[in-house]
Chains A and B, each alone.
Chain A
Amino acid sequence: GAGVSQSPSNKVTEKGKDVELRCDPISGHTALYWYRQSLGQGLEFLIYFQGNSAPDKSGLPSDRFSAERTGGSVSTLTIQRTQQEDSAVYLCASETRWGNTEAFFGQGTRLTVV
């Protein structure tokens, strides 16, 4: 596709359920980021993948959060045992190479935990 694609665009889930959020980056982009944005707030860094290097997971808020990137392309962010405070927009971004280019963002997944 032409841009970063995220699915679903909206997700409502019950507290305690697991959810998976998907990100399809731009083809050929080696770096992939996940961010979380609560209403009216800035972007909170979650995790960063760069090529075949070990991911930087330093932003994951708890061990209920995990992410993987298969084949250097598609990424899945998994939240286990969701809590109401997990409600936010989850944004994925990709960029072409190490460190000095623009990041392209998807439209985000709006997660609501009820």
Chain B
Amino acid sequence: SQKIEQNSEALNIQEGKTATLTCNYTNYSPAYLQWYRQDPGRGPVFLLLIRENEKEKRKERLKVTFDTTLKQSLFHITASQPADSATYLCALYSSASKIIFGSGTRLSIRP
């Protein structure tokens, strides 16, 4: 079955630095991969979608890459701010066309 893994459970970085989160997947080649943000006590909120034929996608301070050879996506937040502190989830559409999620990375940006 398809598996999606986010290697870091938690990541702490200094404000202003670039945060890089990793998402790996196995046993499948998804056509799309998504990233969501989840704040405590709230449902996840969609951030970015990247397609298999797109190497990179940007939105403001966010950048996502998609390497179908490595079966990996990287999520970058540049010029990080304390307000970026949250849990970030990657997700893909499985072969059964349902969305499955990684376990998330809890990002903390310290002033």
**Interface residues, chain A, with chain B CB atoms under 8 Å away:** 4, 33, 35, 41-43, 45, 48, 50, 56, 58, 91, 93, 95, 98-108
Contact = CB atoms under 8 A, between A and B. Distances in A.
A38 to B, nearest CB: 11
Given A43-B89, A56-B96, A99-B93, A104 B101 contact: no
Given A41-B103, A42-B104, A100-B32, A33 B98 contact: yes
Nearest to B43: A105
Contact-residue bracket for chain B: 20 to 34
B45 interface: yes
B43 A107 contact: yes
B78 interface: no
Contacts of A104: 46
A45 B100 contact: yes
Interface of B: 6, 31-32, 34, 41-46, 49, 51, 89, 91, 93, 96-104
28 contacts: A33-B98, A33-B99, A41-B103, A42-B101, A42-B102, A42-B103, A42-B104, A43-B89, A43-B101, A45-B99, A45-B101, A48-B98, A56-B98, A58-B96, A91-B43, A93-B44, A93-B99, A95-B99, A99-B31, A99-B93, A99-B97, A100-B49, A100-B51, A102-B49, A103-B44, A103-B99, A105-B43, A106-B43
